[in-house]
Structure 1
């Protein structure tokens, strides 16, 4: 069963994780958020009771 041989796949996995952690991740983390959260208070809507016609 060749899939149990870790020689080629372990090297590919290590190279992939190193690429991600050293190259791709810092580039992604350097982006600024285009929609930053605000410290505004959320609006509270006043709920009006429903008038049922049969009561």
Structure 2
């Protein structure tokens, strides 16, 4: 069964992972996110709900 021979496919897999790790990933990580998180330092307490039957 030829699909059990890992000789060409293992090399292709290694080259793909090295390409992703060394070339593509740094380019993707260098992008700045457009929706950067902000610190929420001020918190307001909600006002209690006034129920008409109490």
TM-score norm. by structure 1 comes to 0.72
Listed one character per residue, the Cα deviations across residues 1-55 of structure 1 (whole Å, up to 9, x for unaligned) are 1110001100100110010000000000000110010112586684766x6xxxx
Task: Find the counterpart in structure 1 of residue 28 from structure 2.
Answer: 28
Aligned residue-pair number: 54
- The RMSD of aligned alpha carbons is 2.1
Name stretches of at least 5 consecutive residues in structure 2 with no aligned partner.
none
TM-score norm. by structure 2 comes to 0.73
